[in-house]
Structure 1
């Protein structure tokens, strides 16, 4: 019942108005470099389609070069809306397995050896409600390790180049986007992170998979918030967002609950427009600080508990310190 009440209160996110910022609003991206993790399918693929057909150099992070090649063929053969006659960019594969922290440093080193700027990063890849007990190679709860820890580590490597890029790039154009979800509303009490046992290793009963997924999405919000505190003065905009309730393979483990609410799912392109807004909308500036974006490209509210934790209990600083300590050995 509580979950149903919460969904009713989220009705603006569940049934959003039409997108105001779309492909036709995109500037020429020639000469700019972008990284999208999980860009071979779903929302990431649709985002890459837009970036490529507007002239951007697009690096796609993922585990499967075969999946990337299939996505690249699809993107090249099917232009994004309103961009069919625009100059094309390029698509490149970067191997990284976010369920294995040992792959992050080699991926970052390879990327940094090939590029001299990095304009926008979307930490887009994610896992949603896999079988309870699923773990990363390093023993993290799979959603937490994949959605939060690996992206945090990757960001540690990429931040210096983004800082350098911001020194000469147009104001507010260098951005880091941490993809969250409406599921952050379902994260554990009191403030969204179960700090006493983040991986639920000592829980007497199996955790609700939606709750652990929601916790990982709060983790993305907290990373975006804390990173904004650190880099806004350097010219980097750090944001988080809910891309929307979408028809993608992210729901492959969701089972009957997603079938029940399938009428509420939208095409992946609309989620890409949310990510596009976060990456390029001119009203999003370092002066605004951290903001949370909701479908299909609007500044919206965070969950009240999560916001309270950020503003009054320093949850982002606490999490950041934990992640720095845990990822140090992989630097």
Structure 2
């Protein structure tokens, strides 16, 4: 029976109904400040487009200022769907390399010197199935170090400002969003993270990149869950999401023929993933649900993978990961 329920959930996430929360449901965002890591491409760009065309101040964090400038030109030239009547916001570049933890503190300090509030942080940037053996500067498996560790460290710097913002902001409006994936269903057994050897340094055989990608997406879920336990009573909503199976440069490491077939059969336009992220940021349901929520395409409250949920509830995996990463990132604070 559980296998049937799991198959239904996977089908629903892979072939979602039409979105009910769209650009038209986003309020005027004038005087609001938002951070989007990886906002120069893919769903991050689609999200930044909507925020800008609703009057927001948008901080786009990434490695390449050239990519940022190209994204800005594209966003300004192509307004968010149906949104020509809002005042335009502003966009700013924040240089950070999430594959190198030494860049996080300078970037965070630079950001905190510019802003006095932070309404929503979307930890959106990510790496997907790079060549086997790829590492961050600090020696983490590339997907784990980029998707999980770097965002955890960045959040350590930004959390105090979000908590201060929540003191005067409307209830439920200050949010931290850790972008996961349907790949969280495919992390290592039994509960999604191979805690005994997270980077598979001691493995006799290196794991398939999709397994370690899935592990990184479980990591994002665990951080969102534990952070919700820490800040939900203080006015900050912490949640995770699966943005959907989307056409983006995340698939750049997949072979061309495989990518074309996959794109034709299963992948959707990035705008729809952007709508999932907008729902997580602005829809009332995630704020109304006390504690952690997991959002699925194209903007619905969903259910975590059963084994990941068991790990959280019965084996303390979220708390365990938080403790591990605190110790590992102390030196970069």
Which TM-score tier does this pair reach, normalised by the shorter chain?
over 0.9
Contact residue 233 and residue 286 of structure 1 kept, 8 A = no
Shift of 1:261: 2.6
The number of residues matched between the two structures is 328
Aligned runs of 1:18-33 on 2, under 5 Å?
18-33=18-33
For 2:136 and 2:246, the matched residues in 1 are separated by 25
Task: Say if 2:287 is the partner of 1:292.
Answer: no
Contact residue 237 and residue 286 of structure 1 kept, 8 A = no
Query: What is the SS of the residue equivalent to 1:285?
Result: helix
Aligned runs of 1:109-258 on 2, under 5 Å?
109-255=109-255, 257-258=258-259
Q: RMSD in angstroms over aligned alpha carbons? A: 1.4
Query: What is the SS of the residue equivalent to 1:276?
Result: helix
Residue in 1 that maps onto 2:332: 330
Residue in 2 that maps onto 1:41: 41
Runs of 4+ aligned structure 1 residues displaced above 4 Å come to 5-9
Contact residue 236 and residue 286 of structure 1 kept, 8 A = no
Shift of 1:184: 0.7
Q: TM-score, normalized by length of structure 1? A: 0.97
Contact residue 235 and residue 286 of structure 1 kept, 8 A = no
Residue from 294, 306, 309 that aligns with 1:307: 309
Query: Gaps (5+ residues) in structure 1?
Result: none
Shift of 1:288: 2.1
Residue in 1 that maps onto 2:279: 277
Contact residue 119 and residue 173 of structure 2 kept, 8 A = yes
Shift of 1:286: 6.1
Query: Gaps (5+ residues) in structure 2?
Result: none
For 2:318 and 2:286, the matched residues in 1 are separated by 21
Shift of 1:301: 1.0
Query: What is the SS of the residue equivalent to 1:288?
Result: coil
Shift of 1:283: 2.0
Using a 3 Å threshold, how does the CA distance of structure 1 residues 311 and 152 change in structure 2: closer, same or farther?
A: same
Shift of 1:7: 6.5
Shift of 1:260: 3.6
Contact residue 286 and residue 301 of structure 2 kept, 8 A = no
Contact residue 172 and residue 236 of structure 1 kept, 8 A = yes
For 1:144 and 1:101, the matched residues in 2 are separated by 12
Q: TM-score, normalized by length of structure 2? A: 0.96
